[in-house]
Structure 1
């Protein structure tokens, strides 16, 4: 996961105190992994249950630390109903967002729907970048998937495959009730032990093209690599997803320095 330990809900920076005074923004990361078997809470720490979502989160978090950016993040385990995960993400953003901050939202599989619904819930907060990876409701065949990107999202990259593979990445384990604690923004957190993390394992799991409600720029990328499935698509698109996120963070950093 890199040289630095990725954390949840802690603002950190790689800069010294003098340089830190120049920072006028934070990078806010809200990530949803797959599978509707969580409690809709923020993970207390990065762990293997997060699967491919956790690996991408850790890479981007550590990149921010290395480059001296202030960063605050949350990885959320979606619940069966959309409400708990969306409310948790909205609380995190409302408690931490300040004008000028860079907000990046990521959602895989069932978490993709949470990501879109979160953006709708915080319509007053600009979302610079949204990444959707194979947003799916399994046997629902897209019936419950929100594929319409709201106007407060500037750019949405949607990576999907159309093979109804019915398999997912992640540990796929359920082990008792989750332990909870309080995070720095006042919302509850979970260690993720009760969630079938990053996994849906539902027949018919596949992604779909998304559309803009008007202002959002939406790019749909149909992934056709040999052997791509719902379960491995995160690993297949990991490098390109990280490159896009890092590019947005770098552009934010450069524009901030130019203003200073």
Structure 2
């Protein structure tokens, strides 16, 4: 990330599950590097929610609403891991499994989550 920044590249960080927690930590560990876009896909962490890092310009949080999610094994693992769901510090929050059009979407569907964000990532 430091090499990309030194080369004048815009930085986009994307993380799913515990990887979402890791990209937030990465941004916090590098406060001198501006992050153009941070994307978290059903972020999970046992330590609880963190605020938006100061060096992040825009944070999109795509998540599963576990109050209405099914009991599939992937969703149960995410529940155990500590899902963040809606994050007050994010600039954009979107639950993928909202009613009334609740086709199966769960923690394991990172590809579907990323498909929503790909157009934003490509613009950067």
- Largest Rg, 1 or 2: 1
Equivalent residue of 2:59, what SS? strand
1:130 has 2:7 as partner: no
* Cα distance in 2 for residues equivalent to 1:101 and 1:121: 18
TM-score (structure 2 length as normaliser): 0.77
Partner of 2:56: 153
Tell me the matched-pair count: 115
The 3-state SS of whatever aligns with 2:117 is helix
- Alpha-carbon separation, structure 2, partners of 1:166 and 1:110: 18
Structure-to-structure mapping, 1:1-260, within 5 angstroms: 93-98=1-6, 100-137=8-45, 140=46, 144-163=47-66, 165=71, 167-168=73-74, 202=77, 204=79, 206-212=83-89, 218-224=91-97, 225-232=102-109, 234-248=110-124
TM-score (normalised: structure 1): 0.40
User: Aligned-pair distance for 1:94?
Assistant: 2.5
Q: Which runs of 4 or more aligned residues in structure 1 lie more than 4 Å from their structure 2 counterparts after TM superposition?
A: none
Cα distance, 1:203 vs structure 2:
5.7
Please give the secondary structure, in 2, of the residue aligned with 1:154. coil
Gaps of 5+ in 2: none
CA RMSD of aligned residues (A): 2.4
CA deviations 1:9-60 (Å, max 9, x no partner) are: xxxxxxxxxxxxxxxxxxxxxxxxxxxxxxxxxxxxxxxxxxxxxxxxxxxx
Between Structure 1 and Structure 2, the one with more strand by share is 1
- The runs of 5 or more residues in structure 1 that have no matched partner are 1-92, 169-199, 249-260
- Contact 2:49–2:84 under 8 Å retained in 1: no
